Structure 1
Amino acid sequence: MAKRVMAVYDEDPLYAERLAEYVNQKEQVPFSVLGFTALERLTDYGADHRIELLLVDSSVSREDIEKIGAAFVILLADGEVAPLEEPYPRVYKYQAADRIMREVMGFYCNNSGEPGYAMVSRSGRVMGVYSPINRCLKTSFALTMGQLLARDLKVLYMNFEDCSGFGRLMGEEYKGGLSDLLYYYGQEGFHWGRLGAVVHTWGDLDYVPPVQYPEDLCQVTGQMMAELVGHIARESTYGSIILDLGQFGKKGAELLEVCDVVYMPVKDDCVSAAKVEEFEEYLTSSGHEALISRIQKIKPPYHSSFGRRDNYLEQLLWGELGDYTRQLLRKFP
C-alpha cells in the first residue's frame, strides 16, 4: 500500500526542508513527507494530488490554507496565542523534531478518524531479553544491543517492566508511552499512528516509554501484549524489535512466544541456577517447551565503573558490555 502524503510549508524554507528530510529518514510516521519552500507551488501540488496531512506556518491565512485542500491541517506556531475561532490545532515548531512528530501524530490519530493500515508485508525480527534472575544487567544489555543494531537498521525497544526508572535515567517527563499504546490497542486495534505518537529516540534507537503505573500491566493479558508486538512487527518499518521483559514470570511466556530469539542473562551462583531451572520446568509443563531452544543464555560482564547517568550511552557502547555485545551479535546475528 502506497504511503499517504504529508506536506510541510514554513516561511523559512530551510525549516520545511530539514523537517521533511528528518521525518523521511526516521520513518516514524506512515507518510511520504514533502517540504515546500513556496506557497504557490504547494497550492498547485494540492490541486493535482491528495495531501492527507499538512503542516503549515501559522502566518498563512485560513483562506490560503483552504485553497491547498489538505484533508487534515496542523499549524506550525512560534508560541503566539491562538485566536479563539481558529479551527486548526497547533504545535510549537521550535522544539525537537521527534517531539513535533509525536504531537502531530497525536492530533492526527485523535481527530482524523482514519483506521490503521499495514505499512509493509514483511515482519520485523523480535528479540526478547528476559531472565528470572535479578540484577543481571538485563536492561543494560538490551539497550546496548539496541543501539548497536540501530546503526544498520531501524530498531524499536520496548520495556515491559513495572518500575523501569526510565524517565529518570533519560531525564525525560513522558506524556505518553506503553500505557497509552495498550489502552488504544484494546479499544481500536493496532494503529500505526498511535505508535508514532509515543515513540522517542535515544541515540540511534527508537523506544516506547514504559508504563506509567505498574497497574497498567496488570490490567492486560500476556496474550494481548503479544498480539500488539506481533502487529508492530508485521505492520511497521522496524527491522528489529527488542522486548525488555521485567518480572513477568510465568505470564511472560506468551510474550516470549512471539520472539525469534531470547537472550537470558544468567549467573553462576546456585540460587540463580535454581531459578533458571524452575523457569525451564514451567515452560515444559505449560506447553511452551519449544521456547527453550530459542533461549541463548549469556553472562554479561560486570565492572565497577558502570552505571553513571551522565554518560550512560557512552558506557553502554564503549565499555566492556559494548565489546561483549558486539562479539555476541557476530556469533548470533
Structure 2
Amino acid sequence: MAVYDTDPLYTERFTEFVSQKEQVGFSVMAFTALERLKAYGEDHKIELLLISSSVSREEIEKIGAAVVVLLADGEAVSPGGQYPIVYKYQAADSLMREVMNYYCDNPDDPGYAMASKAGRIIGVYSPINRCLKTSFALTMGQLLARDLKVLYLNLEDCSGFRRLIGEEYRGGLSDLLYYYSQEGFRWVRLGSVVYTWGELDYVPPVQYPEDLCQVTGQMMAELIIHIARESVYESIILDLGQFGKKAAEVLEICDAVYMPVKDDCVSAAKIEEFEEYLMSSGYEALKHRIQKIKPPYHCSFGRKDNYLEQLLWGELGDYTRQLLRKQP
C-alpha cells in the first residue's frame, strides 16, 4: 500500500497507524513527494494506492496502482468518476474499513491470503444464563490483547454491543457470513469489519438473530478455522452465547473451552443435560476438555459508563488474571 497526501504530516501519521494495524495485511509506504511516488511505481507493484483527491487523473494513471482510493478533505469529485473517495479526517480505523471495502469490491482483486501461523482458538460457552460469560470473555480478550493480537467474536443473537459500546456499525458478522458463503474467506473482507475496543479487536455481532439461525455449526467452524489460519491473530475468543446444540461443532475446533457455571439446582440441571447431549452425540472427548469456572459476581458490576474499567480492575479482572497465569 502506498500513501500520498499534500500534507506530509498527515501522510506520515496515517501510515504509522496503518503499519500498527497488522490485520490490514499490507506493507505500507509513505510518500511526501509525488515525483518519488511515480518513480517508485515504475519499478514496483503498488496493489493499493491512497492518494490526495487534488492529484489529477493523468498523474494517478502514471503511477500504475492496481486499486486507487482518493483522500479528500471535503466534498470532492473523482476524476472521470473512476475512483472511490473517502473523507481523510475521519477516525483512521473507520477510514481503513472503508478502504478495505472498496478493495474487496474491486473485480480484479486476486484474493491474496495471509501467510500466518494458526491462531489459538478459545471458546467461552455455557447453557445457563446470567453467568458472566460475555464479561469473562471480554476480560480475557482485553488481558490477552496486551501481549498478543486478539480477535473477539460474539455469536449471540442479541448481544447488546451497539448500546453497550456506543458504536454505530457499518458492517459486522452478518456481512462476514454472507461473503464467506458467496466467495469463501478473504482476509481483506475480515479487515473491512474489524473494530477495536480498548486493546481488543472484534467483529460486531449479527444484526438480526435470523442471520445466525441460517448458519450451520459446520459453516461457522470452518469460517473460524480460516480466520485462525489466514489472519494475523494469535488468539481468537469465541463467545458462543445461545448457539444451541450447534455449539458443540464450534467448540470442537477450540484449543481451550471455558464454561461459566453457577451452584443453583436449575443451572446444574442445564449443565447435566448439555453433558448428556455431548455423550449421546459423539462429542464425549469435548466434555472432558471443558474447564468449568465460577467467575465472581458483585452487584455494582455492569454500568455502561465505565464497563471496560470494571472488567479489567474489578474482581472479575483479578480472577481472570489468576486463571491465565495457571494456563500453559
Same fold per superposition (TM over 0.5):
yes
Residue number in structure 2 paired with 1:28: 23
Give the Cα–Cα distance (whole angstroms) in 1 for the partners of residues 74 and 216 of structure 2: 42
Identity %: 80
Residue number in structure 2 paired with 1:3: none
The within-5 A match list for 1:290-329 is: 290-329=285-324
- 2:290 aligned partner, one-letter code: I
DSSP-derived class of the 2:35 partner: helix
Q: Does 1:139 align with 2:134?
A: yes
TM-score (norm 1): 0.96
Instruction: Confirm or deny: 8 A CA contact 1:72 1:112 kept in the other structure.
Output: no
Instruction: Confirm or deny: 8 A CA contact 1:115 1:191 kept in the other structure.
Output: no
Residue number in structure 2 paired with 1:55: 50
- 2:89 aligned partner, one-letter code: Y
Give the Cα–Cα distance (whole angstroms) in 1 for the partners of residues 115 and 325 of structure 2: 27
Residue number in structure 1 paired with 2:276: 281
DSSP-derived class of the 2:106 partner: helix
Consecutive unaligned residues of structure 1, counting only runs of 5 or more, are: 1-5
Q: Does 1:150 align with 2:138?
A: no
Aligned equivalent of 2:39, options 30, 35, 44: 44
Deviation at 1:222, TM superposition (A): 0.8
Aligned equivalent of 1:213, options 200, 208, 212: 208
Equivalent residue pairs, number: 328
Q: Name the CA shift for 1:84/1:18 in 2 (closer, same or farther; >3 Å).
A: closer
Aligned equivalent of 2:246, options 251, 264, 285: 251
Give the Cα–Cα distance (whole angstroms) in 2 for the partners of residues 121 and 223 of structure 1: 23
The within-5 A match list for 1:151-230 is: 151-230=146-225
Instruction: Confirm or deny: 8 A CA contact 2:151 2:201 kept in the other structure.
Output: yes
Deviations 1:178-202 (A, max 9, x none): 0000000000100111100000011
Residue number in structure 2 paired with 1:124: 119
Instruction: Confirm or deny: 8 A CA contact 1:117 1:235 kept in the other structure.
Output: no
- 1:267 aligned partner, one-letter code: K
Deviation at 1:84, TM superposition (A): 7.7
Deviations 1:154-179 (A, max 9, x none): 00000000000001111112111000
Q: Does 1:9 align with 2:7?
A: no
Deviation at 1:114, TM superposition (A): 2.0
Give the Cα–Cα distance (whole angstroms) in 2 for the partners of residues 118 and 81 of structure 1: 33
- 2:201 aligned partner, one-letter code: D
Deviation at 1:83, TM superposition (A): 5.1
Consecutive unaligned residues of structure 2, counting only runs of 5 or more, are: none
TM-score (norm 2): 0.98
Residue number in structure 1 paired with 2:61: 66
Instruction: Confirm or deny: 8 A CA contact 2:174 2:211 kept in the other structure.
Output: yes
Q: Does 1:91 align with 2:86?
A: yes
Give the Cα–Cα distance (whole angstroms) in 2 for the partners of residues 130 and 82 of structure 1: 50
DSSP-derived class of the 2:146 partner: coil
Aligned equivalent of 1:109, options 76, 100, 104: 104
Instruction: Confirm or deny: 8 A CA contact 2:78 2:85 kept in the other structure.
Output: no
Deviation at 1:251, TM superposition (A): 1.1
Deviation at 1:109, TM superposition (A): 0.3
DSSP-derived class of the 1:180 partner: helix
